[in-house]
Each structure stands twice: as structure tokens, then as C-alpha cells.
Amino acid sequence: MPLSLLSHIVRDGTPRIKSVTRALAMLDTVIADGGCSGVAALARKVGMPLATAHRQVTTLVSEGYLTPSGKGRHQAGSRLLGLLHRLNEKQVVANVAASALHELATRVRSVVQLGTLENDMVTYRIKSGRGAGDLFTRVGMQMEAYCSGIGKALLAHLPDTERDAYLAAGPFVALTDRTITDPAILRQEMEGIREQGYALDDGEIADGLRCLAVPIHKGDGSVLAAISVSQSDRSRTRIADAELLVMLRACARRIEMETFGK
């Protein structure tokens, strides 16, 4: 093989298998279409020759990823649905977010984290950056939500009935003299977070620790996770909130695009 051709093939990394790429493109198109169109219309959408489209659909049906729905149309098959049931959506977003968060941690030279809400507790799924080993949180750890930036960002975006039930459950224990423990004040705090689009923990979970957090939205607007940057009051490299918020929001947007394509 000529060296120039080899260089062209590998310059973007490992070469892709075109047949797999085409099959995935057709699968994605069928699912997005929702069983409304036949193979010919789908082939035009994806820019694929009709004969190739028929082969792709026939293969996907035989493997159980698609199922015929009548009049030459198709929908998700049992094998694809089975895979979906085995996925942990919250862990998927963490897996996708890892690269973006590691890059953010390098830029801010502070601890960056991603958390999700389970049973009214924050589960930390990613932790990266300078000083990560010194901060008391760890991946897999669960903590109360009302006193942390990530937790407040997640609580603020719960459906109203779920948030009301959380606030009524109490009690909310003070971890520092800054911790908000009054349910009425917490409610006001969460209303503000929803309006401004970010949450702040200013020494509420640990003295001298300031944490800024923003939510990660799904395509339907609901919030699946939140990311944060934690900075010590004593840090000589501390970044102002306004500048940090711009970087956090850009990172969140990138994660949303890479995870949900929105």
C-alpha cells in the first residue's frame, strides 16, 4: 500500500468500518422516524442507495434490533429494547461527561465533580482535578443534597410534588454555621436556583469551601445530573464566580450535546 494512502487512512485514528457506520445510521434514522416512513423514504433521509438501505434494514430485523410494523415500516425491536433496559442512564451521562470534566478541571485547577440524585441523596460519579484527593467526597459516595452545590441544583429541578415532599421530610442538620436548615428558606433558595440556572454552596457543607454547580439537562428539559467546581477560600488560583460560571455552563452544554444531541 502506498505510504500516502496509508497516511490518509490512519490520520484520523483507527479507520471506521463503513458497513457498521451505515447500519448505525439507518438504525438511528428508523428510531427517530418512529415507524412513520417506509425504507425508500428513510434511504433518502440518510442519503443511502435504496438497495443498501433494504439490506441494512433486513439485517437489523434479523438481529432483533428492528421489527416490522406493517406497510414496509419498522420500529425498535426486542433486542434493542432489551439493551435500553440494561442501561443506567445516569451512569451513561457520567461516562460521556468524563472527558469534558477532566479538561475543565485542568483549566480551573480545582476539583470538578458530577453527581446525580438517588433517594434524596447525591451520588458522586466523577471527581477530578487538583486537590481531588484532599476533598472529603469520593466516587460512589452519597451525601445529603440540601447543603451542596450539586445537591441544590438537582433538588431545585425536581418536579414540584417531589421537591415539596423532600422539604417536608426534614430535619436538615447544620454542618456549618452557614448551612441552610429552614425548609422555607431552602424553598426560596431552590426557586432562585431554577431562575438563575446555577447553585452555590458557600461554606454550607464545609468551612472555607465554595462550590458552584450547574445542571445537565436532557432533551426534554428535565435534569439528570449536575456538575460543580469546588474552590477553597484560601486558594491562590481561585477563579471569580462570574468567570467560573461561564466555563461551567459551556462544559454542561458540551455534555448535553455529546450525550443527548440537543
Q: What does pLDDT average to in each consecutive run of 10 residues of the chain (262 residues)?
A: 38 64 84 86 87 88 86 84 73 87 91 92 89 77 91 95 91 92 94 94 90 92 92 83 94 90 68
List the CATH code of the domain at 3-84. 1.10.10.10
pLDDT of residue 115: 94
pLDDT of residue 10: 40
Q: How does pLDDT run across 77-97, given as a tens digit for each residue?
A: 888 777 766 667 888 888 888
* Domain 89-260 belongs in CATH node 3.30.450.40: yes
Place of cell 439537562: 217
> Using an 8 Å Cβ cutoff, are 111 and 77 in contact?
no
Q: Which three cell numbers stand for residue 211?
A: 462550590
Q: How does pLDDT run across 21-78, given as a tens digit for each residue?
A: 888 888 888 888 888 888 888 888 888 888 888 888 888 888 888 888 888 889 888 8
pLDDT of residue 16: 66
In the chain, residues under CATH classification 1.10.10.10 are: 3-84
| pTM beyond cutoff 0.85 | no
Q: Where are the alpha helices (DSSP H) in 63-144?
A: 78-86, 89-108
In the chain, residues under CATH classification 3.30.450.40 are: 89-260
CA distance 244 to 241: 5
Q: Quick one: angle between helices 50-62 and 18-33, nearest 10?
A: 80
